[in-house]
């Protein structure tokens, strides 16, 4: 028999196919990664992933600090800013990888007027680069303003949402702050002012590299697409089931994740977010009160359980919190189908190739004889 069709060669081919596609279903079937970490009374609301240091960053509604959390749940204090007012909360976080800095939303509800600011810190030293006070909108100066979430573009411009109003602040790379968008689209439909916390403003926000922002509005089930140049906005999703949407994150494949108090929503768009489509939603542990979602290593999606409602009570204490990986079963099913299709294609190709080689060897033997 020819070496081409000998047993060692067959073993090599099957081993190659296994290494190529065999391990994938095992990876897909693996248990979600859960990180339990201890930090007394941290009560984190915001979460971000630092790809250069390969760890998560978590803020605190009770402390003037940002903690770094490793995959193993080891916690280190990255930032401790005692120069901030004592009663502030560190809310939304965004990593500006290009400038190697962390952007943190700073808010204090008491005393009036509210303290709202964006702070920038060096990612390695933790030193503060700037603290920019966010200006009041004249039309809403007498009402509450809650700086909540932040995202950053490739030029270092940060965009901050007002969770008690309907506008977006902008802070440029040098720390100059202004009101960026007061689009009428944000107030085109009535909102539920009797909903929890009476937050009827904008909350989670994410920057899309094509030149726009995606932002959700609390208690309305709305998502807007906002132009980064002029701040004009248009409604791209209205889903009444999307109650209390909070953080947003975007995977490298363009899938948008929106976390609410009870679910994680998976969204796609066929037309560059002219319209959003919900293709999956995953139930979450509402007791942990998830508030933020981040995309970590290998495009894995993680939700933060910071027990923020408990922390807002002020008379309780907690030491343990968690960051839990969440995946879509629908996506996993689709990926498994493709894996088996590839396996079948590879096997069929191999069998056809083997048949051709056998015919070739037979013809050569005939000529030799």
Which CATH number characterizes residue 87's domain? Answer: 2.120.10.30
Nearest to 286 by CA among 263, 262, 264, 303: 262
Alpha carbons 13 and 250: distance in angstroms, whole number: 39
Other C-beta atoms closer than 10 Å to the C-beta of 254 total 14
Residue 16 and residue 164 share a domain: no
288 token code pair: 């942990």
Other C-beta atoms closer than 10 Å to the C-beta of 131 total 16
Nearest to 249 by CA among 199, 202, 214: 214
213 within domain boundaries: yes
Alpha helices in 187-328 (DSSP H): 308-313
Alpha carbons 90 and 183: distance in angstroms, whole number: 27
Residue 291 and residue 342 share a domain: no
How many domains does the chain contain in total?
A: 2
Residue 357 and residue 293 share a domain: no
Residue 280 and residue 149 share a domain: yes
- First and final CA of the chain: distance in angstroms? 15
Alpha helices in 222-328 (DSSP H): 308-313
287 within domain boundaries: yes
Alpha carbons 301 and 297: distance in angstroms, whole number: 9
Residue 351 and residue 276 share a domain: no
Preceding amide of 353 cis, omega within 30 = no
Residue 76 and residue 205 share a domain: yes
Q: For 185, which DSSP code?
A: G
3-state secondary structure 14-61: HHHHHHHHCHHHHHHCCCCCEEEEECCCCCCCCEEEECCCCEEEECEC
Residue 194 and residue 167 share a domain: yes
Residue 55 and residue 8 share a domain: no
364 within domain boundaries: yes
Q: Name 368's Cβ contacts closer than 8 Å, sequence gap at least 6.
A: none
Residue 237 and residue 338 share a domain: no
Pairing status of strand 89-96 against strand 263-268: unpaired
SS3 305: strand
279 within domain boundaries: yes
Alpha carbons 265 and 268: distance in angstroms, whole number: 10
In a structure prediction context, what are the per-residue pLDDT tens digits for the chain, which is 369 residues long?
A: 444 444 555 555 545 555 554 444 444 446 789 999 999 999 999 999 999 999 999 999 999 999 999 999 999 999 999 999 999 999 999 999 999 999 999 999 877 678 999 999 999 999 999 999 999 876 555 467 899 999 999 999 999 999 988 999 999 999 999 999 999 999 886 544 444 444 568 999 999 999 999 999 987 889 999 999 999 999 999 987 888 899 999 999 999 999 998 999 999 999 999 999 999 999 999 999 999 999 999 999 999 999 999 999 888 999 999 999 999 999 865 444 444 445 455 555 556 556 666 766 666 666 665
Residue 356 and residue 255 share a domain: no
Residue 227 and residue 255 share a domain: yes
28 within domain boundaries: no
Alpha carbons 150 and 137: distance in angstroms, whole number: 18
Alpha carbons 204 and 92: distance in angstroms, whole number: 9
344 token code pair: 């079948």
Q: What is the pLDDT of residue 354?
A: 66
Q: Is 157 exposed, middle or buried (0-12, 13-18, 19+ CB in 10 A)?
A: middle
Q: Are 62 and 42 in contact (CB under 8 A)?
A: yes
Per the structure, the complete domain to which residue 359 belongs is given by: 3-23+334-368
- Strand 290-295's sheet: what is its strand order? 34-38, 320-325, 301-305, 290-295
80 within domain boundaries: yes
Residue 358 and residue 306 share a domain: no
């Amino acid at each position: 028999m020819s070496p081409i069709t000998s047993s060692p060669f067959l073993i090599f081919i099957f081993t190659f196919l296994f290494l190529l596609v065999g391990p994938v279903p095992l990876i897909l079937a693996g248990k979600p990664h859960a990180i339990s970490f201890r930090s007394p009374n941290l009560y984190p609301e915001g979460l971000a992933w630092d790809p250069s240091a390969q760890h998560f960053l978590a803020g605190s509604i009770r402390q003037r600090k940002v903690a770094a959390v490793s995959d193993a749940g080891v916690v280190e204090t990255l930032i401790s800013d005692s120069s901030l007012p004592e009663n502030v909360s560190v809310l939304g976080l965004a990593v500006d990888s290009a400038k190697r800095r962390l952007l943190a939303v700073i808010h204090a509800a008491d005393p009036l007027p509210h303290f709202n600011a964006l702070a920038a810190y060096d990612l390695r030293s933790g030193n503060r680069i700037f603290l920019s006070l966010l200006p009041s909108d004249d039309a809403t100066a007498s009402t509450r303003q809650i700086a909540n979430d932040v995202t950053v573009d490739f030029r270092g411009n940060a965009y901050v949402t007002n969770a008690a109003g309907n506008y977006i602040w902008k802070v440029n790379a040098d720390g100059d702050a202004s009101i960026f968008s007061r689009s009428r689209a944000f107030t085109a439909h009535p909102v539920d002012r009797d909903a929890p916390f009476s937050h009827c403003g904008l909350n989670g926000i994410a920057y899309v590299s094509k030149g726009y922002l995606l932002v959700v509005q609390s208690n309305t089930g709305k998502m807007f697409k906002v132009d980064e140049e002029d701040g004009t906005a248009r409604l791209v999703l209205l889903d009444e089931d999307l109650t209390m949407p909070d953080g947003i994150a975007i995977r490298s494949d363009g899938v948008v994740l929106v976390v609410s108090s009870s679910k994680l929503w998976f969204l796609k768009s066929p037309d560059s977010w002219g319209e959003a489509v919900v293709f999956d939603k995953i139930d979450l542990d509402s007791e942990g009160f998830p508030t933020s979602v981040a995309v970590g290593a290998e495009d894995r999606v993680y939700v933060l359980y910071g027990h923020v409602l408990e922390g807002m009570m002020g008379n309780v204490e907690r030491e343990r919190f968690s960051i839990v990986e969440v995946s879509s079963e629908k996506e996993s099913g689709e990926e498994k189908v493709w894996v088996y299709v590839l396996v079948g294609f590879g096997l069929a190709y191999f069998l056809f190739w083997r048949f051709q080689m056998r015919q070739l060897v037979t013809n050569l033997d005939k000529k030799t004889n």
